[in-house]
Amino acid sequence: MAFTPVFHSEWIKIRTLRSQVAALVTIVLLTTLFSALAASDTGGDDFDPLFAVFFGVAFGQIAAIAFGTTAVSSEFQGGALRVSLAAVPHRGRWFAAKATAIAVPVFVVGLVTGVVTLAVGKAVLGAEADGLGWAEQVRGVVGCAVYLTLMALLAAGLTAVLRSGVATLSIVIPFLLIVSFVVGDASSDLADLLPDRAGQVALHETWDGAMGPWTGLGVTALWTAAALAAGAWSVRRRDA
């Protein structure tokens, strides 16, 4: 079977699950809400207006991760994977179609989220946002979409390896909310290489670390590629 119909079938699976649609909506709501709250607090000498506008991405990514996780974990319930592979015997093609069906809607929603968050954040910041140039604003919007997409795909790859949405979320969410901050406090150089820290460089107006915005997203992309490669290997080698 060609890739396009496989992708279409995987997209139908995703869009017919209410939890998946809810996760996409939640990405926009969480990101916008927490960004507005962050933008309302402009205190401190190290205030970064661009990061204040996109601060909510740190919370919106949880919904993106849940989206990627659920899309894959649903295949391991009730023998759904056996049915999918019966229709598409080429396991690599099936997994690629699944990953694409995850990436496309998250990227589109990520762009919408970036635009809405930018508009709301600038409105809350008021004069504090006057220094943001068009290049920085575009970088923030695109970086928001790319980052959310990469994190959703990273979760999808891990779920394919672990074969459990609960296990994936139990690892990824505490890592993002706790471990990343602990490592960041202990060693900023090491923290710069973590997928969340590296990817969010694109959301800062200025950054003191060694990596630039697109280099940081590149590091996150490497983490995601490794997770997807491991997921593809697991799908190919293990029984359905």
Token reading at 84: 């999918």
pLDDT (0 to 100) of residue 44: 62
Neighbours of 26 (CB within 10 A): 18
Quick: pLDDT tens for 119-142.
Answer: 999 999 888 888 888 999 999 999
The mean pLDDT of 23-41, rounded to a whole number, is 92
Q: For the chain, give the number of residues.
A: 240
Quick: pLDDT tens for 178-229.
Answer: 877 776 655 566 778 889 989 999 999 887 777 888 999 999 999 999 999 9
The mean pLDDT of 91-106, rounded to a whole number, is 95
Token reading at 53: 């506008």
Residues 6+ apart with CB under 8 A from 173: 62, 65
Share of the chain above pLDDT 70, in %: 94
Quick: pLDDT tens for 152-164.
Answer: 999 999 999 999 9
